[in-house]
Structure formats: C-alpha cells, structure tokens
Structure 1
Amino acid sequence: MSRQEYDYIVIGGGSAGCVVATRLIEQNAGTVLLLEAGGPDSSLFHTIPATVVKVFQQKSWPYMTIPQPHCNGREMIIAQGKVLGGGSSVNGMIYIRGQQEDFDEWGVPGWGARDVLPYFKFAEDNESLSGEYHQAGGYLGVSENRFRHPMTQAFVRAGQEMGLAYVNDFNGASQQGVGYYQTTTRSGERCSTSKAYLKRVRGNDKLTVITGALTHKVLFSEGRAVAVEFSEKQGSVQTAWVRKEVVISAGAFGSPKILMQSGIGPKEHLSVLGIDTLIDLPVGKNLHDHLHLSLNATTHASNSLLGEDKGLRGISHMFQWAAFRSGLLTTNVLEGGAFIDSLGVGRPDIQLMFLPVLDNFDNTPGEKPPAQEHGLTVKTGHVRPEARGQLRLRSKDPQEQPLIDPNYLGTQADLEGQIRAVQVGLRLMEQPSLKALIKKVTAPEEMDWRDTRALEVFVRQNIKTVYHPTGTCRLGHDSATSVTDLDLRVHGVPNLRVIDLSVCPMVTSGNTNATAIMIGERGAAQILGRPLAASNPGPIREPASWLREG
C-alpha cells in the first residue's frame, strides 16, 4: 500500500473543520485530508430545515455526562453532531454571534470584538442586513424564516407586552429585546458548512475526505506533529503522514480527547492511564456549557406543529417545500426568541427560544416525555455560566467515550441565574397574547413565579443542556492555564492547531455555531498567514473521487 501523505490533515469535518479545509484548498495551500468520524450529510433531512429533530437524533455522538450532583445526581445527555458539517448539519440553525462584551472579556489580544467582527462578516451572506455588522457575499447563508407560525407571532407580541423592545437584529449593537431569529438557511434550505463551504471544493483533486474515520491519535517526532492514526468502521489502524500542519477541529469533547490520547494533557491524569505525557497542558479543563429549562403549556386549540408531519398534511407540506422551497418545512421550529437583562446591568443574561409545539425532543433517556398534546414551549436559560467542569479519558481505548463532568449549576450564581430565567419565562406566558392561547401550564405545574424555593426544585430536576460545550482547549498566553496560543497552535507544537469552540475561554452569550464558523475562518487565515483569505467562490462542481465513505 502506498504511503498516505498530505500537506495538511484536518481532524473533524464539522462547523469549523469544513471551513478550514475549504479555505486551504481554495488558496492552493497544498493537499488536504479531512477526517470525519460521522457519515456524509446526503440525507434529505439535512436539507429540510423542519426535520432538525430527525437529523439531530440520528446523526450525533451520544455523549452523556457523569452524574451531576447539583442536578439531583442525573446523568444528562449532551449529544454533538457526528456527520459532515457537524453541529451546523444537525442544529436549530439559529444565527447568534454573542455579545461584543463576550469577546472583550476573553482578555486575549487579537480576539476582542473589533478583531473578530471582520471574520463574522466575511463568512456571512446575509439576505436582509448590511452595514457595520453584516454583509452579503460570503459563503454562509443567513436568512429570515420563510415561515412564521401564528403562535410564534403571539410570543413576539407577548415579549413587547412585557416591555421588551422589538429587535430586528440580535447580532447588532445590542441583543436586548424580542424578535425573530435569523437562521443559517438559504432559499428555504439548511445551510451547513458542508453545503456552504465544502461543496465548493469537492471536485478538487487536492482534497480527500474520509467519512466514518475515527482518529486515534497524533504522532510526533522531534517536537512536531508528523502523522495521524485513524481507523475506518473499527477496521485496522491506518497512518496518514503530514508535511505541514495537523488541525484538530473535533469539538469541545473530541479535540481534548484526541490530544490526551496523543500524550498532550494533564500529566497526573495521563500517567494513571499509562499514557506517556509529551506536553503537560490543562487539556479538558475549563469545560462549561449553556443550560435551559423547557416551560411547557397546552393550548386551547389544535394549533401547534403536532401532527403536521403525518398523513395528507405531511404530504402537502413536502410537496410545497419540494416545488417552491416554501411553507412549514422551511421553519427551523425555534423561530422566535428574546434576550433579557434580568439584573438591570445593561447587558442581557437570559435567552428565550420559542417552539410552537410541546418540547419532546431532547429528553435524557428514561425521563418522562411530555404528553402528545397540542401546546407550546418557551425554552429559557442563563447565558453566562460561572461553573467550570472538566473532561477526562475513560481509558486509552479511542473507541470509548470520555468522562464528561460539566459541573452543571456548580455555583450559586448559576442556580440563581436559571431561577431568574424561569421567572422571566413564566411572566412572559402570563402576557395577554400568550395567555389567550394557553389552556394550562404543565411544566412547571401550578407554580408561582415568585416562589423561588419551588423553582429551585424544578430547576435542579429539569435543567438540560443547550448543546453548547466550550472551553476545553482554551486559548491564551500562559501554558499553565491554556492549551493553545493566540494563533491557535498547541503550546510546544509549532505545527499542531486546535480550531473549534474548545478554544473559547468563555462561552458566548447565546447559540454558538456562528462563533465556531468565525473561529474556522480566523484559524484558516492564520494558517495561510494573511488577515483574511481572499474570497474565491468559483463554480460549485459535482463530486468526483473526493469522498471515501468509511
């Protein structure tokens, strides 16, 4: 067998990895191998926005936390995308960058709000917004929803009845207010990074993409990364050699796992597992995530999304989408939202997401799902958690899932923030526009929003992730407290980078996929040695031998 050798190896074909691979090929930087543990995003469900529930459940790593002591000892699901496009192929498509203060508070030179804004804009093809914060012409489609459910409209009116301003742009000067989310869609279709970026270079003979490829570890010689070991469908171990750089873009769980399996991580942990420590770094530490509560209510009328995928209704919706890319199937379900300053400090700390259907999509296995009734859900959560957890290896076996301890609700401030979030949500449900629709609030049932003791019980038992894990390969100056430097290079290895959400010192305030894509753009520019890679769209070619399914 001939030796597999490439200029660049990108581990992880997710939100950031697809961006990096595409930019390297576009700029003729050399040959690129992209390794993705999941499969291709060829299913129609990855194109239809409203089928988000199906793809999320079927195309994700089934990660679970260890028992969380502050959440009544529950083991909690924290799945992550396992498919080309990663999270961008399975998420709710909400386009949120976070607050400008988030990036400034990272305290990292070159990564403040003014520094990252050009990369957000460069990526974006916004159909309706421009000016200081937005632009058209990028690869990532950012659009208004083609469908707005009447109950979502009631939610937006209710927010204004509660005193919130109507906001047309949650990614502008301020998040504060209520409105409709822009989504990572284009012309009624999901716009993942696989479709927005990777599809543009898929006919290039310098790109090789292998799906079903589980990375085992990175190999080193004389302080440099020289190869990557991986297997396809649990087959024999293969070795791919690298001439220039290895880029790890496997996410907040996958990236630290690969680093530790390669001998880069906390020495006291790796030595217990019998892994030789090449570089002692705080890999896997600083883990944190967003949490939320689903406030559920049944409705008087049969007016939710329940049953819309069945029978003649389902056929009608599919025909409308297939023929015109319009109608109900263009919805991302989470159409409306709000950001609220619950502390009166001039900066929102609570996020709301509205569903015109009872939330029954991301329950931890074994938990009782809501009844199959018509209803609505207000997802509400605190967006700036203080608690920090960690990720550790379970064993040396790359097939085993890591031990994940996010330390959910690990500080009193986090608990109080989630209680305030529930209070905001319950107050919203009492506003005239929503109250007229609601028959009964079923979660939390018969609870006064002022009863903080009862709300604490509800929070601890029902809190769940928003699937935004962050921080496990933190960037910074000091190798004692960070894993990567300001150019996303792993401390001590000049040709090994981590480019994904794991580098964030603190999670941004809101949904994180836009930030992952920005990091991909910024990381690619740093590899290429230029502030912004020149745009070179070119024709989208049909695939040749670019994809080898494992």
Structure 2
Amino acid sequence: MSATEYDYIIAGAGSAGCVIAARLIEAGQSVLLLEAGEKDDSLFHKIPATVVKVFQQKSWPYMTLPQIHCDNREMLIAQGKVLGGGSSVNGMIYIRGQKQDYDDWHNIWGCNGWSYDDVLPYFRKTEANESLGDQYHGETGPVHIGENRYRHPLTQTCIRACEQMGLPYTNDFNGASQEGTGFYQTNIKNGERQSTSQTYLKQVAGSQQLTILTHALVHKVNIEGSADNSRATGVVYSIKGGVVVTASARKEVIVSSGTFGSPKILLLSGIGPSAHLISVGIQPRIELPVGKNFHDHQHLSINATTKDNISIYEEDKGASAIKHMLQWMWTRSGLMTSNILEGGAFIDSEGVGRPDVQFHFLPLLDNFDNTPGEKPEAEAHGVSIKVGHLRSKSRGEVRLKSSNPADLVEIDAQILSHPDDLKNQVRAVQTALKAFEQPALKRIVKRVIEPDNIAIDDIKSLETFVRQNIKTVYHPGGTCKLGQSPLDSVVDLQLRVHGVPNLRVVDMSICPQVPSGNTNAVAMMIGERGADLILSAQ
C-alpha cells in the first residue's frame, strides 16, 4: 500500500470525524484523517472557562447573508476549525435532545432505523457517565460525562427562579423526560475539557494505521465513472495552500466536515443542484439537494444588571485572572473548571407535553455571540438567560461562492422566514421575562436591560426586539439531509450519498430536523452510528 492509499479517508476531524476514525482504527483499518484546522494543543483547549477565547481563535468565521426578516443583519455562525472540531471549542454541555425528536425522524421524515430506540445504544456507547447509570446512560464509553465541580451562585439563583415558575428540578436532561431545570452535565474530567480529539482520537493516536494531517483543506472528492455508474475513489487536498495531493481510498471516502464544510465538499465535487453548480463553473455529476434544508437553533440574551457585584464580570482581568489560573494549574479546581453555561432549563411553553424552549444561564451579561461590532462590550455586573425556541420551521440554503476551495460558503439562512418562528421566539422571550419576575431573581436584579422597558404582553415591541437581537446558538444542521429519496435528501438511511457508491456523509449535516438542545452529543452519536454502518458494510 502506497503512502497515498488508505482503506478509508475521512474529510474532517470534528465531533463525528474523530469518533469514526477511532472506531475504524480499532477494527484494523487504515485511515487518513484530514483536518483543515490545526492541532488542539493550546492550553486554552484544556481549560473549560476559556471557551470564549478558544472559540474566537479556532473557528471558521462563517457569516450569513443579510437576513431580511431580522432587520437585514448579518449573523456570525462560527464553527470549530481544529482537531476535535466543535467539541474542542464549544460549551461542553451534554444534551441529546428528546425521544420525540428521533421518533419524528422515523415517523415524520421517513428515516426508518433512526428512531429513539435505534439511536439510544449509540448515545450510551459514547459516554462514561460518572453519576447516572440507568437504562439511558453508558458507563464505559470514551467520553467522561459528569457534574461540574464549580457552580456559581447566580446559576443556582436562576435554577431556583425556574423552580418558582413551577419547573421540576432535574439532574438528568437526557433521561425519561427532558423537562425541568438544573445543572447541565458536561464533558469535563478533572477540570479539563474532554473533546473527541482528547478522548476517541487519543485512544488510537499511536496506531501506525492512522495518518492525521492538519491544515489540510479538501478540494473535492474524486469520482470515477459515468453519472449512471460512478464511485468515489479518493480526495484531492492541499496543506496550507501548497501542492495539490491526491489520496486514494480502497474502501470509502467519509465526509465529516460539518453543516457548512460537508455540502461545500460535495458541491465542489459536482454533487448538488445542477443550476447552482453551473453558475460557479463546476460540471454537474449527480443531481441532489445538497445545501438545502439548512436550519439552526437561534436564541436571544435576556440581560439584567445586579444590585451587587456578584457576577464573574472582570474575573478574567488582573490579579483575579492570575489567581484563577494558578488555582486551575495547581489543583484543577475553581472558576476555570466551569464551562460558564453551568445550568439551564427545558420548558413546555405551550403546554403540549413536550419542551419547546431552552434556557442557558450565565453569571454575567452575555453579548459574546453578537455580530462583531454590533454591540459594545458589557461593562457591569449582571446575569443572563439565553433563551430560544428549539424547533425552527424556517429553512435556508448553503451555496458555493465560487469554485475556489479556499472560499467560504454563502449562507442564506432565512432566519424567521416562517411566521411560526417569530411567534415561538416571542413566547420564549416572554418565558425568560417570567423567570426574572420570580422572587429568587427579583431579589438580586437591579434592572432588566435587554429587552429594555418592554412589557411582557407588548407583542409588537417584543417582535421588534426579536428581529433586532436574535442570533445563532451554533447548532446548524440539515444541509446533507438523511432520507430515502434523492429528490428530497442527500444521503440514504445508511448515510451513503445517493448515486455515489463508496461515499458517505457522517455529521450534523444529515439531520432532517436538528434535535431539541445542544448538539455535540448528537454529533458523537451520529459518528458512532456511522462507524457501525461503515464496518457492517465491509
């Protein structure tokens, strides 16, 4: 076997890609793992509380087109660009979504074999849960899932306020019911982030069967044969914009570059809507709805100043920063072990028996996800509830800007284009405002500043607030949709690209509807399921 020939080539070493690589190596296969980003060897990747810093430094700077339903604002939808992908830069919250989400995949979207009962074993396979061990949880998987050792008093106050609203306290958002309020479980162990790079990939890093290349931009998948009789044979890539290299796959090419990167690679390979491909100078090979069905979770930051200086504002400066860093380095304890987004809630705001709104609590004023330059930095102590509706009906599209592999994709997100989404986000904001009216928060809050002086029943003003302030929570999906027909999906129920043997997509882009909650656990599950499907097909 030559140095450029492998059993499998994986384009993308993110939350799913690292899982697939590890499982293939354990099965005795040779793997080339290509990652456009760099190694995750910065200290900031290990420290949970530096999530904002590492996210800003190690991400693709994706921006949407101006959103006509959101005051023509462009929005940041950055995604991890580093070994481990999103798992190396995210908020480390372990949420799977609801049983109904996956049953909907099966019953509504026609994805037979992807119901909750079908995917639960793969969720369990990923986790080594330190405190939950019933039928919903795994205890021997690669990724440590557990309880945050540091818990800020403001997070506890927010949880108490939600209990005062009538929500039950829960220590398991991934069990029999998602509804409730409490502290999130996280992929943090001994005060350090547990990414798929530092767990799955680390387990097989010494294998001679595994070749990992960073700074490796995939240009396209090589496809041989006619449109009616074609197959994927390898990929073309370059390192840091250098010489173009062709690598061959003896068995399969697996595209695992995320909701934006995976459709980009397929489109550059001539797989997608013919009219669009021709418009950017690419010869169409296979007609599929690549890039369609784009959707995301959006949220809004409901911010309130506090009467006393009790938040973590300015704890990252001066002597405080030095103290916290030394504590983490010496004892792996203290504020630096916090993922900041320590707690939250899932709320059935419509009373239909299924949560549709998620809260994230922050012990500071939140403006981290705003479009750069859109708002000034917060300069006061405060508390924030990040709130959003969980099941968007709006659908956008991801397209190429050109045939140049170095160009980022064009994201026509169409946020709030479905009228139900605006109504649902307004109701989510109202739910957060109710939380701020509870005794636990009312005691400590000086003033709610976002939305500023808007009554909870002033629907028109709340609609304006939503349009002016809604932003991503970095959970995009859907652009290489799973399904049975090539007319409305990109991959079949075994994650094989329709009409192209030996080519699969395995990441969040396959979701027909993104599950209700944070998505890293979902991506790992898809990686485990994908690896099982790949190995079963040998």
The interval holding the TM-score normalised by the smaller chain is over 0.9
Q: Would the aligned equivalents of 2:313 and 2:364 in 1 still touch at CA under 8 Å? A: yes
Q: Which residue is 1:23 aligned to?
A: 23
Note the C-alpha offset of 1:370: 4.3
Does 2:532 align with 1:525? yes
Q: Would the aligned equivalents of 1:363 and 1:369 in 2 still touch at CA under 8 Å? A: no
Distance in structure 2 (CA, Å) of the matches to 1:362 and 1:391: 21
- How many residues matched? 529
Q: Would the aligned equivalents of 1:350 and 1:383 in 2 still touch at CA under 8 Å? A: yes
Note the C-alpha offset of 1:319: 2.0
- Give SS of 1:517's match: helix
Distance in structure 2 (CA, Å) of the matches to 1:348 and 1:384: 10
Deviations 1:178-210 (A, max 9, x none): 111001111211100000110111111111101
TM-score normalized with structure 1 length: 0.95
Q: Which residue is 1:88 aligned to?
A: 87
Distance in structure 2 (CA, Å) of the matches to 1:202 and 1:372: 44
Note the C-alpha offset of 1:311: 2.4
The 5-angstrom pairing of residues 19-58 of structure 1 reads 19-28=19-28, 30-58=29-57
Aligned pair partner of 1:118 in 101, 104, 121:
121
After the TM superposition, which of the residue ranges 433-442 and 35-44 deviates more from structure 2?
433-442
For the aligned residue pairs, the C-alpha RMSD in angstroms reads 1.1
Q: Which residue is 1:246 aligned to?
A: 253
Q: Would the aligned equivalents of 1:358 and 1:370 in 2 still touch at CA under 8 Å? A: no
The 5-angstrom pairing of residues 378-389 of structure 1 reads 378-389=385-396
Aligned pair partner of 2:475 in 468, 475, 492:
468
Q: Which residue is 1:229 aligned to?
A: 236
Does 2:466 align with 1:459? yes
The 5-angstrom pairing of residues 140-539 of structure 1 reads 140-222=143-225, 223-529=230-536
Q: Which residue is 1:127 aligned to?
A: 130
- Give SS of 2:293's match: strand
Distance in structure 1 (CA, Å) of the matches to 2:30 and 2:168: 50
Distance in structure 2 (CA, Å) of the matches to 1:437 and 1:333: 19
**What residue ranges of structure 1 are gaps of 5+ in the alignment?**
532-550
Equivalent residue letter for 2:406: Q
Note the C-alpha offset of 1:144: 0.5
Deviations 1:353-392 (A, max 9, x none): 0000111312101201343111111000000000111111
Q: Would the aligned equivalents of 2:508 and 2:522 in 1 still touch at CA under 8 Å? A: yes
- Give SS of 1:203's match: coil
Distance in structure 1 (CA, Å) of the matches to 2:290 and 2:314: 45
- Give SS of 2:246's match: strand
Distance in structure 1 (CA, Å) of the matches to 2:377 and 2:431: 22
Distance in structure 2 (CA, Å) of the matches to 1:13 and 1:497: 15
Q: Would the aligned equivalents of 1:4 and 1:239 in 2 still touch at CA under 8 Å? A: yes
- Give SS of 1:373's match: coil
TM-score normalized with structure 2 length: 0.97
Distance in structure 2 (CA, Å) of the matches to 1:305 and 1:35: 38
Distance in structure 2 (CA, Å) of the matches to 1:508 and 1:262: 29
Deviations 1:415-472 (A, max 9, x none): 0110001000011011111111111111111111111111000000000000111000
Identity among equivalent positions (%) equals 61
**What residue ranges of structure 2 are gaps of 5+ in the alignment?**
none
Q: 1:530 to 1:82 in 2, by over 3 A?
A: same
Distance in structure 1 (CA, Å) of the matches to 2:333 and 2:9: 39
Distance in structure 2 (CA, Å) of the matches to 1:362 and 1:236: 36
Equivalent residue letter for 1:36: E
